[in-house]
Structures are given as C-alpha cells and as structure tokens.
Amino acid sequence: MTSADCFSAVERKVEIKPHVPGEVGVWVFILGDMLIFGLFFIVFVYYRGLNVELYSHSQATLNQNYGAINTLFLLASSWFVAMAVDDMRNKTVKLAPVFFPLAMLCGLGFGVVKIIEYREKISAGITITSNDFYMYYYIFTGLHFLHVLIGMGVLVFLWRRARFAATQADVRDGAVIEKDMVLIESGASYWHMVDLLWIVLFPLLYLLK
Amino acid sequence: MIRLLAKPVSAVWLLLMLATGLSWWLGLDQGMSSDQQSDYRYISSGLIIIAFIKVRIVIRYFMEVREAPLALKLICDAWLVLVSSAIIYLYCLGPVPVATGG
C-alpha cells in the first residue's frame, strides 16, 4: 500500500473526535431512563429484603433459561448494531443494511421468548395482582418490553437510513452519511440502553437468592 | 468476517456472552445443602457485580462513551457506582437465609 492509498483510506472514514455519541437530547432521555430504572432496582431490592421468603418462592417459579436466552438475544443484537454503526462510519456502507435487520431479528427473538413466558405465567394463574414479587416482575419486564418495542421502531428507522446511505456512498464522498451519523448514533445508543437495562433486570428478577 | 471479529467491540461482546453464561450457571440451584445456603449471599453479590461490570462494558464500548467527553463518562460511572452499591448494601441488609454460627 502506498502512502497515497493510506491517506485515501483515512479520508474515507468519518473522523471520530471526543463527542457525545448522538444527539445530546437523546442522551438526556437515556440518562433519565437509566435513573428511573436505577430507582426501580433499588426499590425492588429494598422490598425484597422485607420479605425474602415470598420473593424467593415466587422467583423459583420463573424460568431462568428464558431470562438468560433473552440476555444473549439482546447482546447479539447490540453487537450487530455496533458493527453496523462502525460500517456506516467507513462510508462504504456494505454491512449496515444487513446487520440492522439481523439486530431486529434478535429483538424479535426476545419478544417471542417474552410472550411465551407471559403466556405460561398467565395460564398458570400468575398475574400482576398475585403478590408483590409478580407485581414488580410484570411492571419492570413490561416497561422494559415497551422499550424493546420502541427500539424495534428505531431499528427500522436506522435500517432505512443505512439502505439510503448505501446508495449515497459515492455521492459527494459520503457527505450525506456524515450528516446522518448523529441520528444513527442516537438510535444505536438507545438500543444499547435497552440491552443494558435487561443485563441488570436478569439477575435481579431471575437469579438473586 | 475475521476482520469484524478482530475488532475490540467483538472481543468485549464475546466476554459479555461468556459472563452471561457464567451468571446463568451460578444462578442455577446447584444442589447446595441448607448449610451452604448462606453461600448464596456471596454468589448473589457476585452476580450483581458481574451484571454491573457487563453494564460498564456496554456503556463504554457499545454506547461509545469511552470516546465521549469526560462529563458523560463521569455521569455514567456515578450511576454505576451509586446503583450497584445501593443494591448490594440493601441486599446484604436482608435477613440471612439460614442462621449461621448457631
């Protein structure tokens, strides 16, 4: 590779300077959401301490495999999104139009497992009013599931931008993509936060003894 | 594909998957006798610590906060420290599953 080639390879990549990944407004929302869920986690552990026996007995009816498989689904999905964002920075945009749908497929897998789990619980007569543990279980996982559904919408949007970017890669040396990166990073950060919240919910609800 | 797997994000992703496997295994009822149940306290504290290490990796590498200004790094780390220490403190305050030393 000649030095000229090296130079052009560097030129093709969107420069990364220290910056907030995505819109600052989106990060305010992300941090607010993390704060609220942080309080949820603390409230749950506090009330658990007041009635450990009830919480342990109720937890024993949960299927840990569902919780773990869903963690793996979200982690895999986050990896696809991270790789897609990296690909878009390269301005050549080859992988992103494929990786965003794969991330959505993992999100869909999460949803299917969640619905199977809810169906099992409800058909066994376990509902939000059964006891305090199940109240928290349904509220926390339900709110998180809502975040997953919103995230799926965000991923559809990112996919559309990636497909558009792929057609624009050679137009004005990828300037269009550079402009889009703030949106792409905002959406990706939101999706990673959905993953992050589940990483804490999984041990709290399914594993804590 | 090999080029993708060689990226730092892929390496930490593999670590996250392995850590999830470890938590999954630790969380299973491993046929402990009732005398050993107080060990759950250590296992559970470990599970919480593993979870928050995973969260920090997600924040740093996936959410790219390691490239972010110092203020955002500090806010994220403050959240991590406050929430994880509150959880561990409240968890350890709870009654011991089986009385020990008696």
Q: What are phi and psi of A141, to 5 degrees?
A: -70, -35
Tens digits of residue pLDDT in A150-180: 999 999 999 999 988 888 766 656 666 777 8
Tens digits of residue pLDDT in B2-59: 777 788 899 999 999 999 999 998 887 655 545 556 677 888 999 999 999 999 999 9
| For residue A39, pLDDT beyond 60 | yes
B101 occurs within a structural domain: no
B100 occurs within a structural domain: no
Which of residues 75 through 94 in chain A touch B, CB cutoff 8 A?
75-76, 78-79, 81-83, 86
What pLDDT shows up at residue A104? 97
Cα-based distances in Å from A205 to A45, A72, B50 = 10, 16, 15
Average pLDDT, chain A: 89
The backbone region for A30, taken as left when phi is positive above 0, alpha when psi lies in -120 to 50, beta otherwise, is: alpha
A98 touches chain B (CB under 8 A): no
B102 occurs within a structural domain: no
**CA B52, B14, A92 angle in degrees (round to 5)?**
110
User: What is the average per-residue pLDDT within B65-88?
Assistant: 96
A130 pLDDT band, cuts 50/70/90, is very high
Place of tokens 């301005």: A91
Q: What are phi and psi of B100, to 5 degrees?
A: -110, 155
Residues from chain A contacting residue B83 (CB–CB below 8 Å):
38, 41-42, 200
Which of residues 36 through 55 in chain B touch A, CB cutoff 8 A?
37, 40, 43-44, 47-48, 50-52, 54-55
Residue B73: domain span? 2-26+39-93
Are B47 and A203 in contact, with CB atoms under 8 Å apart? yes
Domains and CATH numbers, chain A: 22-207 (1.20.120.80)
Q: Compute chain A's Rg from CA coordinates.
A: 21
B31 occurs within a structural domain: no
| For residue B100, pLDDT beyond 50 | no
Nearest by Cα to B88 from B46, B53, B57? B46
Percent of chain A with pLDDT over 90: 74
The backbone region for A31, taken as left when phi is positive above 0, alpha when psi lies in -120 to 50, beta otherwise, is: alpha
Residues from chain A contacting residue B90 (CB–CB below 8 Å):
42, 45-46, 49
Q: What are phi and psi of A138, to 5 degrees?
A: -70, -40
Number of domains in chain B: 1
B81 occurs within a structural domain: yes
CA-nearest residue of chain A to B55?
Answer: A196
Query: Could you report the predicted ipTM of this complex, rounded to two decimals?
Result: 0.88
B24 touches chain A (CB under 8 A): yes
Residue from B20, B79, B81, B85 whose CB has the most chain A CBs within 10 Å, to mutate: B20
Name the 3-class secondary structure at A110.
Answer: helix
